[in-house]
Amino acid sequence: MPSIVPMPYSAGKCLDNKGCFFLSEFVPIVHRAPNAVQLGEQIARLHRDSLSPTGKFGFSTTPYDGKLPLVVNWDSSWASFYSKLLYGVYLLDSRFNDKWQELDDAMVIALAEVIPRLLKPLEEGGRTIKPCLIHGDLWEDNIGTDLRTGGIFIFDCCAYYAHHEMGVAMWRVKHHKMNAPEYREEYFKNYPPDEPVAECDDRNRLYSIKENLMYSALKPGHIAREEALADMEYLICKYTDAIE
């Protein structure tokens, strides 16, 4: 979708140091809250029109969220892929924050019981999930509104092929300004949730755990870690018997 990204001109390694360069079109943008209707239409189109080169979830190179890498090895099962993605982010969070036994215990249950319960039904009973190219870090500072046309531009991605609902999980977390329900609602008008639709919000909550733990790893001590645990405990209580 070249219409929503600055035109790339050149990229490569610097001659005088170990760095790399990337040159693109200059676009005069403002970081105001993006138009929810326009954003929902454009991101849904990106997801709907994209096609995984392997037919699987993942990516051909390691994407970085800031300075930290994601685990995105190709996988034909979304439940399996998301388990490995979430566990990788959890390990990053554990590296940069103090040990927290409650979080460790909750993660064990989430991986063993919550993820299979919520994600396997997406691929049962004849259902399938299309691997969609998602931006991977689509918060307000990575979205700009063109001052000349009012059009939306996105950049600074952390892309991989995923369940399309994963692409809007970041629009739920509290530390970003785009957590107003209208953003998710406008998106789902253009690309409806998969069946079972009644569990879409809980899947969104599950996906947002990855976003909160990644932010916690990038900013140790942030409340996002507590919010990730609260969401895990909510889903554990709702979908498993491990209430204690």
Looking at residue 75, the DSSP 8-state letter turns out to be B
What are the Cα distances from residue 125, in Å, to 83, 113, 120, 128, 164?
21, 20, 10, 9, 19
In this prediction, residue 109 carries a pLDDT of 96
pTM (two decimals): 0.94
Question: Which H helix or E strand runs over 21?
Answer: strand 20-24
One digit per residue, the tens of pLDDT, for the chain of length 244 reads 899 999 999 999 999 888 999 999 999 999 888 999 999 999 999 999 999 999 999 999 999 999 999 999 999 999 999 999 999 999 999 999 999 999 999 999 999 999 999 999 999 999 999 999 999 999 999 999 998 999 999 999 999 999 999 999 999 999 988 889 999 999 999 999 999 999 999 999 999 999 999 999 999 999 999 999 999 999 999 999 866 6
Name the nearest CA neighbour of 20 among 54, 59, 64: 64
How many helices (H) does the chain have, and how many strands (E)?
Answer: 7, 9
194 in Cβ contact with 183 (< 8 Å):
no
In degrees, to the nearest 5, what angle opens at C-alpha 242 toward C-alphas 231 and 179? 10
For the chain, list the domains and their CATH numbers: 28-239 (3.90.1200.10)
- Tracing tokens 């929810």 back to the chain, one arrives at 36
Q: For strand 29-30 and strand 143-146, is the pairing parallel, antiparallel, or unpaired? A: antiparallel
d(CA 39, CA 34): 7
Please enumerate in sequence order all residues whose Cβ is within 8 A of that of 152, keeping only pairs 6 or more positions apart, or say none.
4, 34, 35, 38, 39, 42, 143, 144, 145, 146
In this prediction, residue 184 carries a pLDDT of 95
d(CA 96, CA 128): 37
Which value, to the nearest 10 degrees, does the dihedral of the CA atoms of residues 115, 187, 39, 142 take?
Answer: -10
